[in-house]
Amino acid sequence: MSNRSPRIIYRMTRSFSASVCVIVLTSGCVVEDIDALIAERGVTDCPSSTGTSESGLETSSSTSTSSSASDSSAASTHDPDTSSTGESTTTTQSGSSGSSSTGSAPPVCGDGIVEGDEACDDGNATPGDGCQECAKDSIVFVTSEIYQGFALGGLFGADQRCRSLAAKAGLERPLTFTAWLSTPTTSAADRLVHSRGRYILVNGLVVAQNWDGLTSGTLENPIMVDENSETQDTFAWTGTLASGEPALGSEFCEDWDDDSGLLKLGGAGLTASVDATWSFFEQTVCDSGARLYCFQQ
């Protein structure tokens, strides 16, 4: 048994690129050899066997963690594809979508697309082409036939007479024609479409530029041309003022549909007039004959 004191030898091994210090007790160890080994391996510190980790590993781990945190922070700050930026984008898109869904855009007159309440849209402002302010021209005629005021069949019967004559004459949309006729409770203004387009005769002459012009009390041309483009200078049953409202004081031939109205009166207008008398000129006995004004809708 040697009398030399035990010496501590530091043996360096490598595992996964990390230096591990193993303590081995031996009885034959030279201090100078130990110092040389330490100098060669570059080990400056070695914890005791009770230590949990080496300072080199701790430093490496700390550096790695710090580096990862730094990279993560940088990515969050500068990367446009990060989750926070995506949420912001999603929110913005959602807001934009909500704004655009508040209602559809109104129709644009003149873009060549018929939409909304437009009757036509030819994409131009050419006068006389059948489309004005995105509304079609409406044909107006006075009937070629004569009717007794008390035997019109009411408002419905009068409309049917207009439609029958329009169909026989080959006019467009014959089933839309409506008689310019009122009762005490229903006005012609309520029965007809207030068109933005022109009102024209079968021969193409303009009666009025629009509804306002028609009901202004002055026409551009008289409504004295029938569905066959023939002139009729006579009376027309209306019971209606030029404004489209019922003519006060008229007996309306008992709503234009009753034998009891045989000896009563109904309002009538003059087909040859261009002032307010085109619609109402006088009260006429209901058993006499007169025509009807018919308006395309």
pLDDT of residue 273: 98
* Helix boundaries (H) for the chain: 31-41, 55-78, 83-100, 154-168, 188-191, 211-214, 252-256
pLDDT of residue 6: 45
* Residue 122 C-alpha from the chain's centroid: 20
Residue 251 amino acid letter? E
Q: Say how far apart CA 95 and CA 107 lie, in whole Å.
A: 25
Local confidence pLDDT in tens for the 297 residues of the chain? 444 444 444 444 344 333 433 334 444 444 455 566 556 655 454 444 444 444 443 444 444 444 444 444 444 444 434 433 344 333 333 333 444 445 667 777 777 777 766 767 777 777 667 677 767 899 999 999 999 999 999 999 999 999 999 999 999 999 999 999 999 999 999 999 999 899 999 999 999 999 999 999 999 999 999 999 999 999 999 999 999 999 988 889 999 997 776 788 999 999 999 999 999 999 999 999 999 999 999
Locate 184 and state its tokens. Answer: 């005490």
Q: Is 217 exposed, middle or buried (0-12, 13-18, 19+ CB in 10 A)?
A: middle
pLDDT of residue 84: 39
Locate 244 and state its tokens. Answer: 């489209």
Q: Say how far apart CA 270 and CA 246 lie, in whole Å.
A: 16
Domains of the chain: 7-78 (no CATH), 105-134 (no CATH), 137-295 (3.10.100.10)
- For the entire predicted model, the pTM comes to 0.61
pLDDT of residue 225: 98
